[in-house]
Amino acid sequence: MKIIVCLKQVPDTASVKLDPVTHTLKREGVAAVINPFDLFALEAALQLRERVGGQILALTMGPPQAAEMLREAIGYGVDEGLLLSDRAFAGADTWATTAALAAGVRHLGGADLVICGKQAVDGDTAQVGPGLAQRLGLPQVAFVKAIREASAEHLVVERQMDDGYDLVDLPLPALITVVREIGEPRPPSLKGKMRAKKYEAPLAGAAALGLAEDQVGLKGSFTQVVEVFAPGAAGQREMLPGPAEAAGRAVIDRLVADKVILLGS
Amino acid sequence: MDYFLSEDQMMIRDLCRQIAEERIKPVRAELDEKEQFPRELMKSLAQADLFGLIIPEQYGGLGGGCLENCIAVEELSRACVGVSTTFAASFLGAYPILLFGNEAQKSKYLPLIASGEQLAAFALTESASGSDAGSIQTQARREGDEYVINGSKQWITNGGEAGIYSVIAITDRSKGARGASAFIVEEGDPGFSVGKKEIKLGIRASATAELIFNECRIPADRLLAKEGMGFIVAMRTFDKSRPGVGAQAVGVAQGALDEAASFARTRKQFDKPIITFQAVAHMLADMATKIEAARALVYSVARYVDSGAKDISKAGAMAKLFPTDIAMEVTTNAVQVLGGHGYMRDYPVEKMMRDAKILQIYEGTNQIQRNVIGQELNKEYGRGK
Ligand SMILES: Cc1cc2nc3c(=O)[nH]c(=O)nc-3n(C[C@H](O)[C@H](O)[C@H](O)COP(=O)(O)OP(=O)(O)OC[C@H]3O[C@@H](n4cnc5c(N)ncnc54)[C@H](O)[C@@H]3O)c2cc1C
Ligand SMILES: Cc1cc2nc3c(=O)[nH]c(=O)nc-3n(C[C@H](O)[C@H](O)[C@H](O)COP(=O)(O)OP(=O)(O)OC[C@H]3O[C@@H](n4cnc5c(N)ncnc54)[C@H](O)[C@@H]3O)c2cc1C
């Protein structure tokens, strides 16, 4: 099975700051990591390769430093990567992002299965997976929590719902987005990490992908960021003085009064 | 301290530390409590390629040596010696094949061990034969193209979990120590079964079991090296593995110090963190100093072993003896630093103290290590006299 995993490099949420003037994310000097949800996509791909064999390709659109993330992906056991990077890609919304990613998938010769994370922790729209499927003309199942069956022709997957799950028989080629329940991401492997040390991901820009400048990036986007701001802290803080037992008792009394907890008799 | 590890060695250390933190620590108490074999964790270690660490590249491994093994085992032991024993015992079972196997044996078994598809085990000890390995009773007789094994082995780590067993048995009783041979026995061989599973003080996640050979028939090509080389196989195996036991000791001692030092900084009595009491601080200082000395010894001996040196018995014994003795002392003192908390199952140090004890016993008790070192000294100082 040929699997393409879409990985997005995002700022480490632990250290994100907004530029007070432009209201955009300050990416300089902020550690970049693989979008945490995409680690589940990667884990799903690794599990599938263990089950049915095949090849895993990692695809990302991002600035040149996203090559480092692809190296990390090689460390987890991915076979090859492809970095879509071009000044023209900057400022892409989900529409322009899927245009570039769809061209990237075609550039890689297509796949039996494309796997995306549920959503990116920075953009947070959860639109890229479904949008990409639409552009590629692939059937899609979002929020997959388990893959019950896998063969060259189809998958049987569980789609997470509010009140349980749907069982979907999905013909391949197809696209899925996966959620946490798919399985705890494994640690990297030693052989992968040794290979990663020397790995240089191939790079493709707009021209190589056959995309015109007005199809990608800011020019290819319908939406613009008007303002991004951190909402002020809304909570109130109160210190409860005194010894631990009295303070603990006060907390319980308050929680009972606010009907957060009920005390049994 | 900086031990001038290579880039690859640091990578091994960091990856093992990550696995220890993310995978082992969250489940170690439960594995211990339920005396449960860490099957899932072994799968994680396999996915990370760790079972290939000391296996040559042509057999699917990474071609690392004793030092790489020690680095990995130390980090895993910092979280749980039950888990690290399970891991390390697979290499103990692999060494006889690695050191003495012919090409066919190596290419059949080593890739299975390197991928983690199968665990290995090493079986020498019997009910009446512990330190006195020369007194083993298990016998193997040649019958045509087969060997037939009869007898039983006791307290075999990974017994019942491994697929590949390196077994020492007597082929010619009249030759004494030169009458033992080493064999590869596979799970499912006719006449081979697993008996009692032990209930233990510590390293409870690891499986320790009896192996029973009742007219167990194996093809003659499962003999390792030649007939009569069984004890040489066993001794060379221990020479290679003993620094690894030292590394387990360094790991568990470091884990105990980590707990004790952070507890001592936050626990207040008489309105002060207890680390400000000199009696406590000095205990921690001695712990840290001894751990560093033990680590330096283990790494130096591991490098010496990897240099291809032949006279490694004394150094190997030292690298097992000193770290395991200080690990017992350090883990015991860690319980002392935590006081009543340390005695409770809610904190990990009582488990570390229980786990540390085995390190002074298996792969040759520390009395036997002193015997080895003493004999070597006698030889060295007797030379030319
Ligand atoms: C602060 C901020 C505000 C933004 N505001 C808007 C806005 O108002 N309107 C708008 O349309 N766009 C906006 N964007 C840009 C845009 O949403 C995203 O950067 C980009 O289009 C991807 O969408 P997402 O991050 O929501 O990804 P999601 O759709 O949440 O991601 C789902 C999955 O798609 C895959 N994926 C997503 N991006 C990539 C990539 N670059 N390479 C490979 N795989 C990928 C991953 O598998 C991911 O798990 C904003 C971005 C930021 C950081
Ligand atoms: C959890 C566990 C796992 C094990 N795993 C394995 C395994 O995978 N494979 C395997 O083959 N074995 C294994 N063993 C066996 C282990 O190697 C032996 O327990 C060890 O060699 C000591 O033998 P013994 O217990 O029979 O003690 P004994 O030899 O009976 O010794 C009892 C005491 O007498 C002392 N003593 C004995 N002889 C001398 C002497 N000459 N000089 C000074 N003191 C002496 C010992 O040091 C000890 O203190 C395992 C044991 C345990 C407990």
Q: The CATH number of the domain where B64 resides is what?
A: 1.10.540.10
Is residue B149 situated within a structural domain? Answer: yes
Is a pLDDT exceeding 80 seen at residue B328? yes
Cβ contacts of A188 on chain B, cutoff 8 Å = 15, 48
Q: Specify the amino acid at residue B222.
A: R
A250 part of a folded domain:
no
The ipTM estimated for the assembled molecules is 0.86
Q: What is the pLDDT of residue A265?
A: 59
B11: in domain: yes
pLDDT of residue B146 exceeding 70: yes
Confidence of residue B306 (pLDDT cuts 50, 70, 90): very high
* Shortest alpha-carbon distance between residue A90 and chain B (Å): 34
The CATH number given to whatever domain includes residue A95 is: 3.40.50.620
User: Distance between CA atoms of A63 and A83, rounded to whole angstroms?
Assistant: 9
Examine the fold and report which residue of B79, B104, B119 is the final residue of a domain before the chain moves on.
B119
DSSP 8-state class, residue A15: G
Residue B356 lies in a domain: yes
B355 with B250, same domain: the answer is yes
The closest residue, in CA terms, to atom 22 on ligand 1 is A94
Which of these, B125, B127, B117, lies nearest to B157 by C-alpha position? B125
The mean pLDDT value for B91-117 works out to 98
Position B2 in a domain: no
Say how far apart CA B332 and CA B290 lie, in whole Å: 14
Is the confidence at residue B102, as pLDDT, over 70?
A: yes
Residue B228 near residue B178, CB atoms below 8 Å: yes
Among B338, B104, B107, CA closest to B220? B104
* B83, B84, B125, best to mutate for ligand 2 pocket (most atoms within 8 Å of CB): B125
Does residue B51 sit within a domain?
A: yes
Same domain as B365, residue B272 = yes
Residue A174 lies in a domain: yes
Q: How far apart, in whole angstroms, are the C-alpha atoms of residue A206 and residue A211?
A: 5
> What is the structure's pLDDT at A103?
97
Q: Is the pLDDT of residue A240 over 90?
A: no
Ligand 1: residues whose CB is within 6 Å?
Answer: A 6-8, 25, 35, 37-38, 41, 59-62, 92-94, 97, 101, 116-117, 119-120, 122-129, 223, 225, 228
Q: How high is the pLDDT of residue B61?
A: 97
pLDDT at B82 over 90: yes
Do B107 and B129 lie in one domain? The reply is no
Give yes or no: residues B204 and B343 share one domain: no
Asked whether residue A234 carries a pLDDT value surpassing 90, the answer given is no
Distance from CA of A7 to the nearest CA of B (A): 21
Residue A177 lies in a domain: yes
What does the mean pLDDT of chain A come to?
Answer: 91
Count the domains in chain B: 3
Residue A146 has pLDDT above 70, yes or no: yes
Question: Which token pair is A236?
Answer: 């109130």
Asked whether residue A38 is assigned to any structural domain, the reply reads yes
- Express each pLDDT in B225-271 by its tens digit: 999 999 999 999 999 999 999 999 999 999 999 999 999 999 999 99
Q: Which pLDDT band, with edges at 50, 70 and 90, does A67 fall under?
A: very high
Two structure tokens written together for B22 = 């993310």
Q: CB neighbours (10 Å) of residue B288?
A: 16
Pocket (CB within 6 angstroms of ligand 2): B 89, 121-125, 130-131, 155-157, 200, 208, 358, 361-365, 367-368, 371
Cα B138 to Cα B179: distance, rounded to the nearest angstrom: 12
Which pLDDT band, with edges at 50, 70 and 90, does A225 fall under?
A: confident
Tell whether A221 is covered by a domain.
no
Return residues 196-215 of A near B (CB < 8 Å): 197
- Residues B79-102 have a mean pLDDT of 98
Cα–Cα dist B317/B373, whole Å: 7
pLDDT of residue A24: 65
Spatial separation of the C-alpha atoms in residues B255 and A152, rounded to whole Å:
47
- Is residue B68 very low, low, confident or very high in pLDDT (cuts 50, 70, 90)? very high
Shared domain for B138 and B206, answered yes or no, is: yes
Examine the pLDDT at B43 and tell me if it is beyond 70: yes
Q: Based on the fold, state whether residues B55 and B36 are members of the same structural domain.
A: yes
Q: How far apart are the first and last CA of chain A?
A: 60
What is the spatial distance between Cα A101 and Cα A6, in angstroms, rounded to a whole number?
8
Once rounded to an integer, what is the mean pLDDT over residues A233-246? 83
Residues β-bridged to residue B269? B272
pLDDT at A31: 83
- Average pLDDT, integer, range B72-99: 98
> Which chain B residue shows the shortest CA-CA distance from A75?
B48
Which structural domain, as residue segments, surrounds residue B73?
Answer: 7-119
Of all residues in chain B, the percent with pLDDT exceeding 90 is: 98
Give pLDDT, residue B177.
Answer: 82
Q: Are residues B142 and B203 in the same domain?
A: yes
Enclosing domain of residue A140: 2-215
Whether residue B168 is found in the same domain as residue B298 = no
Give me the pLDDT at residue A23, please.
Answer: 64
Same-domain status, B236 and B365: yes
Percentage of chain B lying above the pLDDT 70 cut = 100
pLDDT of residue B385: 67
Mean pLDDT of B63-89: 98
> Among A86-90, A124-128, A225-229, B337-341, whose mean pLDDT is lowest?
A225-229
Q: Are residues B219 and B88 in the same domain?
A: no
Same domain, B262 and B192: no
Domain stops at, among B178, B202, B228:
B228
| pLDDT value at B49 more than 80 | yes
CA-atom Rg of chain A in angstroms? 22
Q: What is the pLDDT of residue B209?
A: 98
pTM exceeding the 0.90 threshold for the entire prediction: no
- Structural domain total, chain A: 1
- Residue A22: per-residue pLDDT: 65
Domain annotation covers residue B1: no
Q: Residue A237's pLDDT is what?
A: 82
Bridge-based pairing of strands B268-269 and B272-273 is antiparallel
The residue out of B84, B119, B154 marking a domain boundary is: B119
Mind listing the pLDDT tens digit for each residue in B155-213? 999 999 999 999 999 999 999 889 999 999 999 999 999 999 999 999 999 999 999 99
B363 flagged as catalytic: yes
Examine the domain organization and report whether B218 and B259 are in the same domain: no
Question: Is residue B319's pLDDT more than 70?
Answer: yes
CA distance B249 to B258: 14
Question: Considering the domain boundaries, does residue B275 fall inside one?
Answer: yes
